[in-house]
Amino acid sequence: MKINSNYLNLKDNYLFADVAKKSSEFVKKNPAAKLINLGIGDVTLPLCTAVVDSMQQAVLEMGQKETFKGYGPYQGYDFLRSAVKNYYASRNVDISLDEIFVSDGAKSDVANILDIFSKDNSVLVPDPVYPVYVDTNVMAGREIQYLNANEENDFLPLPNRSIHEDIIYLCSPNNPTGAVYNYDQLKQWVDYALENDAIILFDAAYEAFISDEDLPRSIFEIEGAKKCAIEFCSLSKTAGFTGVRCGYTIVPAELNFEGNSINKLWFRRQSTKFNGVSYIVQKGAAAVFSSDGMNQVKESINYYKENAKLIAKVLTERKIYFIGGKNSPYIWLKCPNRMTSWAFFDFLLKEANIVGTPGSGFGYNGEGFFRLSSFGERSDILNAANKLKNVI
């Protein structure tokens, strides 16, 4: 039996392991120090009451013969897909139920979607990047081209019309940079994809953090996108679902390549290799889109965004270049005094007892940059902002 040898080409990423190691070594040497964690990429606020109530009810239903549910529909229950449809409709995007696939999270679908594409496609991945885009293509043996995101383009690279690509990854609001494409920029990507018969894999996991009315929250707000894009969404950051596991993927009916409906291919993949999301989880997810749910999750998002604002204020005062933090939970800053990412990590740890994430861990263009996250306690953030002000 032979293994998939592409796996041997994967690079191990020790970013978060190294961060943890350095932090714990520091604490060992400085037992009095109380570290403030701004490296966290996970939510910290609990589920809202609308979601809790709905899941409580669903659990009870599963315990009664009359209301028990066995296998659900492969694409997800209509009650949840209708809620997603209405969510899009509220932003004037018309999506039909058949175009919505309920998932156990954006990560699974972003990774598994590659199953329906040929190995022979060229792939364009932004750098810095969420490592899953890279690793999943390495596993399949695809060559990867990198798209440079840097200070020059404000970490929002645009298409190079002289180069052809087949599969394009875009993530907006971006992880790790927090940068958000505007309508005009996304339109350039859609036009490029249509010209090149390419597909855009649009990761919108952080869309709920967009509050500027003039920024698109879905690629389907752009004309032509339904002919060239798939959108991956998640309730992980929208509603604190990182431990609950639910997302949704939009595969437009109009999306055709080589005469084949991508929607039908994806349905075939999912109905063969997946058995749907827990009824209880889907009931919780539907509650997010209720009017109570929407108000409650907005409160949590505003809490995180207020955190980001407090950090951003210090950086602005200290005239440090940064992006994100406004329509995103992440702040991506340029390390002061030309420090490398890891040098700034050490500096911040020692001088302010703040733990952040070195940008170099996200790719070549991340060197010299640093990610701070707003998923913390307000008191910690206030404390961090004060300390930050004193040392930079």
268 contacts a copy of itself (rule: CB under 8 A): yes
Radius of gyration of the chain (CA): 21
Segment near a copy of itself (CB under 8 A); pick from 26-34, 69-77, 337-345, 352-360:
69-77
Long-range residue pairs from 55-63, CB within 8 A, at least 24 positions apart, any chain: 55/280, 55/281, 55/283, 55/284, 55/287, 57/283, 58/279, 58/280, 58/283, 58/284, 59/280, 61/279, 62/279, 62/280
Q: Mark residues 223-242: x for contact with a copy of itself by CB under 8 A, - for none.
A: -----------------x-x
Q: Mark residues 314-353: x for contact with a copy of itself by CB under 8 A, - for none.
A: ----------------------------------------
Q: Mark residues 280-319: x for contact with a copy of itself by CB under 8 A, - for none.
A: xx--------------------------------------
Per the document, the length of the chain is 392
278 contacts a copy of itself (rule: CB under 8 A): yes
Residues between 181 and 200 with contacts to a copy of itself, criterion CB under 8 A = 197-199
Which of 11, 34, 65, 338 binds a copy of itself (CB under 8 A)? It is 65
Q: What is 121-164 written as a DSSP string?
A: --EEEEES--HHHHHHHHHTT--EEEEE--GGGTT-----TTS-
18 contacts a copy of itself (rule: CB under 8 A): no
Segment near a copy of itself (CB under 8 A); pick from 50-58, 85-93, 213-221, 346-354:
50-58
Q: CA-to-CA distance for 138 and 125, rounded, in angstroms? A: 12
Toward a copy of itself, which CB reaches closer, 73 or 350? Answer: 73
Segment near a copy of itself (CB under 8 A); pick from 5-13, 93-101, 206-214, 349-357:
5-13
Which of 146, 257, 303, 347 binds a copy of itself (CB under 8 A)? It is 257
How many CB atoms lie under 10 A from the CB of residue 70?
6
**Is residue 123 within 8 Å of 166, Cβ to Cβ?**
yes
Binders of a copy of itself: how many residues, by CB under 8 A?
Answer: 76
Coil vs helix vs strand at 168: strand
Which of 15, 47, 125, 170 binds a copy of itself (CB under 8 A)? It is 47
Q: What is the dihedral of CA 370, 326, 302, 344, to 10 degrees?
A: 10
The answer to whether the peptide bond before residue 252 is cis (omega within 30 degrees of 0) is no
Residues between 83 and 142 with contacts to a copy of itself, criterion CB under 8 A = 104-105, 107-108, 111-112, 115-121, 132, 135-136, 139
First to last CA, the chain: 56
